[in-house]
Amino acid sequence: MTFKSLIYKSCFLVVLFLSTSLSAQNKKIRVLFVGNSFTYYNNLPQVVAAMAKSQDIIIETKHSTVGGSSLENHWKSERGTQTRVMIELEKWDFVVFNNHSLSAINKPSDFMEYGKKFADLVRSKGAEPIFMMTWAYKSNPLMLPEIERMYKLLCDQVKADYIPGGPLFASSINYRPDLELFHDDIHPSPNGTYLLGLAFFKYFTGKNVNAIPTNISTLDTNGQILYLIFMNDLDANFFRQLVNEFQFKTLSLKTEQVITPKK
């Protein structure tokens, strides 16, 4: 390869990277959240959309959630779930899954089976699966290693990304045990949902989260402000720093990996 052709190729890759990044920023993405009360407590899907909108980024979210449900329940359309219908009939860019909080520990074979089935279904419809790694119960932090191991195993086998909810909770508790992440023994408090929302924002945009507002709001059906989460500045600043510094894969990193030439 001549020096001149190398320069042309390098310029092309730079233009491709910039155009890909800009299109990713300007494009509206549609995300379906599938799971249970870990997702619908404090309206996590709406929080993610509201955080994105605050930065002039459009993430349109919907959810298919039933309290206490597993991905097996969602796959078999049990307990009133309509997840497969929503995946089949609507156009999504990403589908986020959270399994039952004990599934990875008590039913590991089912955890793997239905995670794989949904990953295959989602990709057959042109979307990408993402898994929200759940957290240990407040009363039993020893749950986390097995939860983390199983989610990483599943995501490695289906080549999918995960949002490290459990590890983020554990890190927050380590640094700031005074910050209450739990509504009860298992469900997230507004603090916990704010932390999760920041992680999803970072994943989808690849941006740091410094500009995310302290209080998160959206608009109701009348076009009036509807507040989702109130935080205080000190706690919000801590969560933003934690998510910024926490290392996990984001969509922008995957894009860079795809278009960076091999040496």
In tens, the pLDDT along 201-259 reads 999 999 999 999 999 999 999 999 999 999 999 999 999 999 999 999 999 755 443 33
Calculate the dihedral angle through the C-alpha atoms of 68, 74, 76, 81, rounding to the nearest 10 degrees. Answer: 80
Question: Does the domain at residues 28-259 carry the CATH identifier 3.40.50.1110?
Answer: yes
Q: Given a cut of 70, is residue 82 above it in pLDDT? A: yes
* CA nearest to 213, candidates 192, 250, 189, 239: 239
At residue 209, the pLDDT reads 98
What is the distance between the alpha carbons of residues 159 and 237, in angstroms, rounded to a whole number?
Answer: 33
The domain locations on the chain are 28-259
Task: Tell how strand 29-35 and strand 128-132 pair up.
Answer: unpaired
What is the distance between the alpha carbons of residues 103 and 84, in angstroms, rounded to a whole number?
Answer: 20
* Complete DSSP assignment for 87-103: HHHS--SEEEE---TTH
- Mean pLDDT across the stretch 124-133? 98
What is the distance between the alpha carbons of residues 182 and 185, in angstroms, rounded to a whole number?
Answer: 6
Q: Given a cut of 70, is residue 18 above it in pLDDT? A: no
At residue 191, the pLDDT reads 98
What is the distance between the alpha carbons of residues 151 and 134, in angstroms, rounded to a whole number?
Answer: 9
- High-pLDDT (> 70) share of the chain, %: 86
pLDDT per residue over 144-192, tens digit each?
Answer: 999 999 999 999 999 999 999 999 999 999 999 999 999 999 999 999 9
Do the Cβ atoms of 125 and 92 come closer than 8 Å?
A: yes
Q: Half-sphere exposure of 241 toward its Cβ, with a 13 Å CA cutoff?
A: 9
Q: Given a cut of 90, is residue 95 above it in pLDDT? A: yes
Give the pLDDT band (50/70/90) at residue 2: low
Residue, of 26 and 35, whose pLDDT is higher: 35
What is the distance between the alpha carbons of residues 205 and 18, in angstroms, rounded to a whole number?
Answer: 14
What is the distance between the alpha carbons of residues 224 and 104, in angstroms, rounded to a whole number?
Answer: 41
